[in-house]
Structure 1
Amino acid sequence: MSRKRFSIWRVLRNVVVLLLLGALALAGYLYTEYRAFADVPIPGVAEKTQIDVPLGAPLTGVVALMRQQGINPGPSLYWRILARQLGVAGHLHAGEYALEAGLTPRALLRKMAAGEVIQHKFTIVEGWTFVQMRLALYSARFTDKALKVELASAEPEVQIQDQEVMSRLGEPDVPPEGLFLPETYSYVKGMSDLDIMRRAREAMKKTLDKLWAERSPDTPLKSPYEALILASIVEKETARADERPKIARVFLSRLKLGMKLQTDPTVIYGKYYVNHGGIVNPDEIEKINITRSDLDTDTPYNTYTRTGLPPTPIALPGQAALAAVIHPAETNALYFVARGDGAHEFSATLDAHNRAVAKYQLHRK
């Protein structure tokens, strides 16, 4: 080999060696950068930052969404490599995600693979009527854009009628009052008011069936639905947990004896909710006092003119009211009257009750 050829070969060899060393150095640098990328907080993520990942969005689309939010997510290549390393490539869920300060790419990909999307909440309040629940669901669309509204409406002329609501829930011709369990329900973006109603209906069924199985054999109630009706009355009579079992026992004793229940909330329900088709201001109803004429006017819900239970519940009873009806207190009281401080005075005889009325009602007036 000539000296000239040897020199060219040596130059080429040195170039190759330098290129290999450069490639190794670059690979080492990129690996170091990648390692730092995966487990270092994503720059630009502030408290309560959210991204909404559409269905079918690729990982590069998620990275683009973060950039639109003013976040610096780093190279898309790193995200793809990390997703493959974690085994979550192609398995990321769509939905809303909360990005808290300090969140790393590794933690975010694991969160998305697990579908840990933002959970919204809607509370059905104990004692609400079906109308109040529907109005609250309608109002929720303005405070939480995540909830899709299919049924609720504040306009009587355009709202889907109760029978249609129950038909969509698979129970056509069933009166809706009282059938939904007051609880706080979580939902994710894209779920609807119908979804919440369906869950609340199933929750009430399960709760009522469980409690009904624990009933006393001497209860005058003939079905779970009758228990639901009475629980709704107990719910509206008192907000005090310690009084619900006592009031339930008073009503159960009256049913056994064939006495009229004589409870004001049923009269109010019959007059204002039924006679007005449920389209009334719920806040105003709570302030209305019934008159002697109201008590004397016979309706299916007037428990002063009719014995037994009204035809349907008058509100949505909570679990405590339901439990009180199935497990009432042991008392011989047949009467009670409001004392004016949120509590009631219970009496076993009419004479004692009349004295309590004179003390707490007539005297106060």
Structure 2
Amino acid sequence: MIHDIAVIGAGMAGASLAAELAPHARVLLLEAEDAPGYHATGRSAAFWEECYGGPGVVPLTRASGAYLAEHGFLTPRGALYIGREEDRAAMDAFRASYDGTGVALERLTPAALADIVPHIRPAWSEALHQPACADIDVARLHQHYLGLARRGGVAIACRARVAGLVRESGAWTITTERGDTHRAATIVNAAGAWADEIARAAGVHPVGIAPFRRTVAVLRVAPQAPADLPLVIDVGGSFYFKPDAGRLWLSPHDEIPSEPCDAAPEELDVAIAIDRFQNVTDWRIEAVERRWAGLRSFAPDRMPVYGFASGTEGFFWFAGQGGFGIQTAPAAARLAAQLLLGQGADAMTARIDASVYAPTRFAVALQSA
């Protein structure tokens, strides 16, 4: 059997796209691991934040919000970007960068900040409030898309790590490490940290998608963190923390270059996170109960890559979503499906300029490489 489309990677990106394609095409979803969502999807910090990813990602995030809310995947949280007095100019620049995007950012007084974030040290006096931020039920969202895909007739193959890709007679032959073969007219590269490896296997010039390790630790603090504490982010990008089930999730906001792998946390990164947290608050840390790491993969300009590769028939990029791939999944998948199927925009994607995410934006750099 020749499938119309084979999607490589069954994390949030691949699952959501397969679900969007299912009513219109014969789709195969290939996953290298024993189960979908083992890597970045299963290790997400799980929030929907309009500023996350930068102004260029805002259209995808905002277009996804209604779908996520209507299907019950969001719980209101709110976010605070904080800084010290010397960060005031950076705060102003950060706020100005979102002018015209529809993102609401409200400056708070030091007293208001102290009321919202107990135990914050007085030096941290600057704050911007982003009220629309919400927690995402990532596991349920991922299962939602996998369920839609299965009910739509998508064939899902796990333990199907791609070993070879050959195009002949208008179709791709996909060989897995187990020796299985599949055929598809078009392949979608939704392989996350492995996206450039998949491109090379297909004879497509990689666009420079690079994985970076991000660390999260779960802290038990005293007194217990309030359940309604917002997501708190350093405007300088050196930490964030949020409450979860009476604990605090803390990250040093690290981006450590990595090979594609099953990422594991480093003790040094956890220690750096704790040191930064203690410089911001006087909460007493009673224990580090859990720690994990995941890979976030970025193109050189830190924008996602959606579209057909130049010069290679039937190869479609759906990668480079960094840390914002979960919160943009509904709109990104809808947009990519429209591009793959040659459909026009609908109400969800009407305000998204697909050209800014096209892989052809790297053509000049690739030609000179």
With the shorter chain as reference, the TM-score category is under 0.3
**TM-score between both structures, scaled by the size of structure 1:** 0.23
**TM-score between both structures, scaled by the size of structure 2:** 0.23
Higher normalized strand content (fraction of residues):
2
Greater relative CO, 1 or 2 (CA 8 Å, sep 6+): 2
Q: Max radius of gyration: which structure? A: 1
